């Protein structure tokens, strides 16, 4: 359903990326290719966090691992198993394998203190979402190959720790919803201001990477209004099934909700 990364707490439970709290690990599945079809591991991984309002500005950034050691080894020592169990997920949901028949790499990018040396202490590292205000963020993961070519993937996450959002516009005095939800082929987004009448309404649809894909035309009447989204982008091309965000923004507040397009 458009969820590019997995989130798992210390008890081994997988978490809803749109309702994250406390400490957790972030798991990323990726690989490089050799000889067109042979899967090998990448060179290094890092990740960052940005606000939805300004996805190009880095709020937090951390290095994960450099994979500059030989893991394709027939030597089974304590150091080999320590490294494998620190950087790779091996549970039922995200199960890493590296044999000749199947090669799937699920990296625990938060099992790192941010340097290139992998030690047993790194396994206790995690991401602490309580260090950030509640709200929506863009999580970016950067993977580089041995030639230092970089690939980036991103998704929206929501932190919910009861921490006040002092640096964002307040989400007040407005009701925002869409119907139907889930929907196909279109949905109506409606809003209503409980106090006063706002002008200069901006209503837009975003994907889970935080990219704006559609500006919506609003029909407004004395503090309430609506817009129809037919599942297309600004070039009127159909978008794929998945979770999308719609954000209402005025000069005094903004509010964001989620909707699900099913085809």
**Cα end-to-end span (Å), the chain:** 12
Phi, psi of 129, deg, nearest 5? -75, -15
pLDDT on residue 119: 82
Query: pLDDT tens per residue, the chain (263 residues)?
Result: 456 899 999 999 999 998 999 999 999 999 888 877 788 888 899 999 988 777 777 899 999 988 765 544 444 555 577 888 889 999 999 999 888 788 899 999 999 988 777 888 888 999 999 999 888 898 999 999 888 889 999 888 989 998 765 545 444 568 899 999 999 999 999 998 866 565 678 899 998 777 889 999 988 877 788 999 999 999 999 999 888 889 888 877 778 888 889 98
CATH no. of 174-261 = 2.60.40.4070
Distances (CA, A) of 120 to 29, 83, 114, 177, 210: 22, 8, 14, 47, 35
Q: What is the pLDDT of residue 45?
A: 93
Domain residue limits, the chain: 6-159, 174-261
Strand partners, 62: 47
The pLDDT value recorded for residue 72 is 44
Q: What is the pLDDT of residue 215?
A: 95
pLDDT at 1: 44
pLDDT at position 219 is 86
**What is the predicted pLDDT for the residue at 2?**
53
What pLDDT is stored for residue 201 in this prediction?
85
Cα within 13 Å of Cα(223), Cβ side = 9
At residue 187, the pLDDT reads 96
* Total-model pTM: 0.73
Instruction: Count CB neighbours of 236 within 10 A.
Output: 8
Other C-beta atoms closer than 10 Å to the C-beta of 110 total: 21
């Amino acid at each position: 359903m458009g969820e590019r990364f997995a989130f798992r707490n210390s008890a081994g439970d997988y978490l809803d990326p749109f309702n994250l709290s406390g400490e957790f690990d972030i798991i990323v599945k990726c690989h490089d290719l050799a000889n067109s079809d042979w899967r090998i591991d990448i060179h290094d991984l890092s990740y960052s966090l940005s606000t939805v309002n300004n996805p190009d500005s880095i709020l937090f950034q951390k290095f994960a691992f450099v994979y500059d050691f030989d893991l394709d080894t027939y030597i089974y020592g304590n150091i080999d198993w320590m490294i494998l169990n620190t950087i790779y997920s091996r549970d039922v949901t995200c199960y890493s394998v590296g044999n000749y028949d199947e090669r799937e790499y699920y990296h625990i990018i938060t099992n790192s203190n941010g340097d290139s040396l992998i030690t047993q202490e790194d396994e206790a590292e995690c991401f602490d979402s309580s260090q950030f205000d509640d709200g929506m963020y863009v999580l970016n993961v950067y993977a580089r190959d041995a030639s230092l070519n970089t690939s980036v993937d991103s998704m929206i996450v929501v932190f919910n720790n009861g921490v006040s959002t002092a640096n964002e516009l307040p989400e007040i005095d407005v009701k925002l919803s869409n119907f139907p939800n889930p929907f196909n082929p279109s949905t109506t987004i409606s809003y209503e201001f409980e106090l006063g009448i706002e002008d200069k309404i901006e209503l837009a649809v975003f994907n889970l990477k935080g990219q704006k894909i559609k500006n919506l035309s609003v029909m407004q009447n004395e503090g309430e209004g609506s817009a129809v989204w037919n599942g297309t982008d600004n070039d009127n091309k159909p978008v794929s099934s998945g979770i999308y965000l719609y954000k209402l923004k005025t000069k005094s507040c903004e509010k964001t909700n989620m909707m699900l397009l099913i085809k």
